[in-house]
């Protein structure tokens, strides 16, 4: 047989199944060795094709809708932000003898406005620190609502350090964002004043920050969001290395003591002393899985990773905790609406309701996790279904260009009593007894943030 003919035979086998290709190689091997070393390249090609299966194309990533009920996520963020600014007016601003206080919900809302402004500027190829975006209503409202509390030397009006409230630290995030945006040193100084609280924050025996002075030996999921990302950001701004070890410890403790492997969820709070009326006497945990508490927690985890050092050994565990938390949240999503329940694991129980703040927080946090590469795109269907649920089921058109976000839990906590005199005992009945309102800032802010994250898709 001539070498040319042998080459034709071998090449012809390339399209055959692996077994046939292998037999062709073996059958012609002696001829190749004796008469045509040049055919070895062909032989090697066929050997490789026998040993290596053809690559199977990766499945296409899930399709992501560009509009929801006729508008983009960013448009929905703008609509609700504009509506809320119009509703609130100057009610969040500090005034002599006024009623406004330094408040964590105002901090969340104003931070979402600054994120929205930044996204709009980036989409326009502009800097949010330059006109026209530096003069936008979102920046002006945030400067009024937060800046009106900040004195010339960074003192914060109505803030009381001695209460040791972790909630009070949350608005410091907006203060830092305004400092970066405007260069006004008052905001930087205010953040430093707030962060200094953690130097002497009361702690559990294991080193967990108390949620407040009056909440002795208690760690709440809420407090992780309020304090940890802010503390890390301050650590970068003020070159304080202790913030990293502080935050790593808080996350380790809250995960160890509140995570429930059976449901994949976290209990609202943990009493290290195991003596509170709401606490399980064996574990110290509260008794239910409140949606917004889990929302605070998962938002905290994605924000913490923005500031936690990439070379620190605890980072891998924090990322694993985020991924574990995300896996626990999705199975409790309502199949019909895409929303989540006030008490997460009891969707079919009488009285429970689909709640806006938890649903918006989950969508915002999961979407940011995907965008940052912390979570895989397998979460995209749950995210888009959740966002569609918010738009389709919880947004209400009030006319005249105004929109409202409905079914918001007004407040919930543990210990002491409600305004109506009911013990805040962490029971299922308690979580359903708190008022359900429209346009609570703890829901509006995450909804705006969710739109800015989905806009990246």
- CB of 339 within 8 A of CB of 390? yes
Hey, is 71 helix, strand or coil? strand
The residues that bridge with 6 in the sheet, in sequence order, are none
Structure tokens at 317: 């565990």
Residue 153: which residues within 8 A CB-CB, separation 6 or more?
186, 189
10 Å CB burial of residue 17 (0-12, 13-18, 19+) is exposed
Structure tokens at 167: 């909630």
| Given 222, 255, 303, 345, the catalytic residue | 222
Q: Of 436, 437, 434, give the one whose Cα is nearest residue 414.
A: 434
* 334 catalytic residue (yes or no): no
Distance from C-alpha of 74 to C-alpha of 122, rounded to nearest angstrom:
12
Distance from C-alpha of 287 to C-alpha of 267, rounded to nearest angstrom:
7
Is the bond preceding residue 256 a cis peptide, omega within 30 degrees?
no
The CA-atom distances, in angstroms, between 50 and each of 20, 28, 263 are 9, 15, 47
- CB of 355 within 8 A of CB of 292? yes
CB-facing half-sphere around the CA of 170: CA atoms within 13 A:
25
Distance from C-alpha of 160 to C-alpha of 360, rounded to nearest angstrom:
30
Q: Of 264, 432, 449, 299, give the one whose Cα is nearest residue 355.
A: 432
Angle formed by the axes of helices 185-195 and 171-182, nearest 10°: 150
Question: Is the C-alpha dihedral spanning 435, 438, 441, 447 positive or negative?
Answer: positive
Hey, is 413 helix, strand or coil? coil
Structure tokens at 180: 């970066």
Catalytic residue set: 222
């Amino acid at each position: 047989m001539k070498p040319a003919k042998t080459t034709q035979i071998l090449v012809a086998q390339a399209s055959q199944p692996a077994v046939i290709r292998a037999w062709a190689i073996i059958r012609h091997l002696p001829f190749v060795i004796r008469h045509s070393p040049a055919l070895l390249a062909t032989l090697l090609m066929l050997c490789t094709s026998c040993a290596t299966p053809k690559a199977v194309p990766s499945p296409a990533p899930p399709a992501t809708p560009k509009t929801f009920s006729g508008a983009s996520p960013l448009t929905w963020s703008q609509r609700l932000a504009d509506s809320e600014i119009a509703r609130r007016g100057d009610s969040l601003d500090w005034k002599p003898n006024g009623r406004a206080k330094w408040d964590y919900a105002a901090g969340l809302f104003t931070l979402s406005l600054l994120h929205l402004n930044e996204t709009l500027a980036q989409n326009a190829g502009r800097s949010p620190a330059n006109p026209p975006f530096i003069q936008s209503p979102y920046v002006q409202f945030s400067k009024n609502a937060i800046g009106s509390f900040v004195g010339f030397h960074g003192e914060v009006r109505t803030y009381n350090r001695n209460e040791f409230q972790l909630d009070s630290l949350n608005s410091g995030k907006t203060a830092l964002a305004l400092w970066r945006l405007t260069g006004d040193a008052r905001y930087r100084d205010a953040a430093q004043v707030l962060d200094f609280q953690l130097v002497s924050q009361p702690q559990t025996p294991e080193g967990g920050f108390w949620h407040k002075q009056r909440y002795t030996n208690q760690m709440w999921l809420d407090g992780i969001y309020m304090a940890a990302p802010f503390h890390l950001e301050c650590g970068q701004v003020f070159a304080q290395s202790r913030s990293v070890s502080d935050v790593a410890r808080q996350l380790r403790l809250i995960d160890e003591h509140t995570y429930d492997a059976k449901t994949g969820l976290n209990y609202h709070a943990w009493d290290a002393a195991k003596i509170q009326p709401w606490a399980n006497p064996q574990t110290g945990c509260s008794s239910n899985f409140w949606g917004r508490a889990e929302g605070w927690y998962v938002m905290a985890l994605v924000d913490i990773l923005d500031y936690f050092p990439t070379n620190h050994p605890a980072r891998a565990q924090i990322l694993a905790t985020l991924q574990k938390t995300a896996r626990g949240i999705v199975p409790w999503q309502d199949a019909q609406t895409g929303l989540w329940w006030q008490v997460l694991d009891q969707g079919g129980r009488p009285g429970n309701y689909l709640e806006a703040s938890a649903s918006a927080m989950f969508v915002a946090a999961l979407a940011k996790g995907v965008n940052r590469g912390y979570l895989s795109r397998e979460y995209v269907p749950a995210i888009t279904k959740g966002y569609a649920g918010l738009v389709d089921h919880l947004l209400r058109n009030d006319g005249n260009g105004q929109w409202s976000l409905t079914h918001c839990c007004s407040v919930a906590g543990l210990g002491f009593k409600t305004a109506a005199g009911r013990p805040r005992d962490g029971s299922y009945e308690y979580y359903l007894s708190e008022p359900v309102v429209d346009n609570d800032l703890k829901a509006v802010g995450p909804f705006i943030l969710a739109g800015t994250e989905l806009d990246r898709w």
